[in-house]
Structure 1
Amino acid sequence: MTTPLLDACDLGAIANGRHLVHAVSLSVTSGDRLAIIGPNGAGKTTLLRMLSGMLRPSFGEVKLGGRR
């Protein structure tokens, strides 16, 4: 089994006491496609910011190429 390019485990974000993203886990390997869909205010941008490293998750972890 190969190391995932992107691996997220139990990601969550809390701001002002409100859960913006709750318990998201995913794994993306070479050749995979990923779509993040949902209504306005569902936390898509917050999730993408956590996955890219622009925002530190309130809980959980993100690994890029096996590294935190």
Structure 2
Amino acid sequence: MFVMKLTAIQLNIVQRLMKMLLPLLVVLCAMHFIFDFYALHLTSLLDLYGDVNPMLSLYPKTQP
């Protein structure tokens, strides 16, 4: 009986932690994907020939 009560309390704590951490995890994942999209795609489209950042350019300048 004591083991059952202890596991129920632990499950309650785990459920509370999941309810608190799950939205935070979703927000962090969304921010991560949005940042990756802007950093890779938007910067590459605005900086096609590597004037600002050669590492992100789609068409790097060829050396003469």
How high is the TM-score relative to the length of structure 1? 0.22
Structure with greater helix percent:
2
TM-score (norm 2): 0.23
Q: Which has the higher strand share?
A: 1
Give 1 or 2 for the bigger CA radius of gyration: 2
Relative contact order, higher structure (CA 8 A, sep 6+): 1
